[in-house]
């Protein structure tokens, strides 16, 4: 026997959807469907200390400023995803003060806050954990204290195919 669909359940589901989509709007992220691409101007602000390369998929994260075609500019977490056989991201790309036109992919699964992005967990010989805020290196004139730790960062991904040919040669 089927249970009747309650109006309260329906309203609850709608509210969850509205609240979760509202968080992306508050972060300044435009409404791009998850896993879809857009060409935008990207300026790299800070580099998260990279993890050691593995034989599987590797990632390197950056704090970046994205300028959308309609003029809005937001700060985002930008992840460079690459395989072991792919080249690392070219230094000239992220050290340039100029914005570069790149194809980015919206990736909601790695949205975070600025504080979570810059935090590094350390453990001592006794296994005691401590957290420091030295997980990023500023690029150019960006100051690590420019953003509050609670600042939401929408996540976008670039791949080796996203990088302009002039930086790959």
168 Cβ contact list (under 8 Å, min separation 6): 87, 90, 160
Which has the higher per-residue pLDDT, 109 or 122?
Answer: 109
Highest mean pLDDT among 30-34, 54-58, 103-107, 163-167: 103-107
Three-state SS for 51? coil
Q: Residue 44 — very low, low, confident or very high, per pLDDT cuts 50/70/90?
A: very high
- Answer with the residue of higher pLDDT: 53 or 44: 44
In the chain, domain spans: 23-168
Q: What is the pLDDT of residues 141-163, one digit of tens each?
A: 888 788 999 999 999 999 888 88
Q: Hey, what long-range contacts does 139-143 have (CB within 8 A, 24 or more apart)?
A: 139/44, 139/45, 139/46, 139/47, 139/94, 139/95, 140/44, 140/45, 140/97, 142/45, 142/46, 142/63
Q: Which residues contact 120 (CB under 8 A, 6 or more apart)?
A: 49, 131, 132, 133, 134, 135
Q: What average pLDDT does the segment 1-26 reach?
A: 44
Q: State the sign of the Cα–Cα–Cα–Cα dihedral 4, 7, 12, 14.
A: positive
- pLDDT higher than threshold 70 for residue 5: no
Q: What is the pLDDT at residue 33? A: 64
Question: CA 76 to CA 73: how far, in whole Å?
Answer: 10
Please give the residue that has the higher pLDDT: either 115 or 135: 115
Closest CA to 135 of 156, 155, 114: 114
**Average pLDDT of the residues in 74-91:** 85
What confidence category does residue 51 fall into, taking pLDDT thresholds of 50, 70 and 90?
Answer: low
Q: What is the mean pLDDT of the chain?
A: 76
Contact predicate 104/42, CB 8 Å: yes
pLDDT at residue 106 greater than cutoff 50: yes
Q: pLDDT tens digits for 125-138?
A: 887 777 777 778 88
Give me 14's structure tokens.
């709608």
Total-model pTM: 0.72
């Amino acid at each position: 026997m089927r249970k009747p669909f309650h109006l309260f359940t329906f309203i609850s589901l709608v509210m969850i959807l509205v609240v979760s989509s509202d968080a992306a709007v508050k972060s300044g992220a435009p409404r791009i469907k998850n896993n879809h691409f857009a060409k935008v101007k990207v300026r790299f602000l800070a580099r998260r200390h990279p993890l050691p390369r593995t034989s599987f998929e590797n990632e390197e994260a950056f704090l970046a400023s994205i300028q959308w075609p309609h003029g809005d500019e937001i700060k985002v977490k930008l992840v460079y995803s690459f395989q072991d056989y792919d080249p690392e991201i070219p230094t000239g790309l992220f050290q340039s003060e100029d914005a570069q036109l790149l194809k980015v992919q919206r990736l909601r699964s790695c949205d975070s806050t600025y504080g979570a992005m810059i935090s590094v967990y350390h453990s001592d010989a006794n296994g005691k954990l401590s957290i420091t805020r030295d997980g990023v290196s500023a690029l150019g004139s960006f100051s690590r204290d420019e953003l509050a730790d609670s600042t939401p960062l929408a996540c976008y991904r670039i791949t080796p195919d996203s990088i302009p040919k002039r930086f790959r040669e």
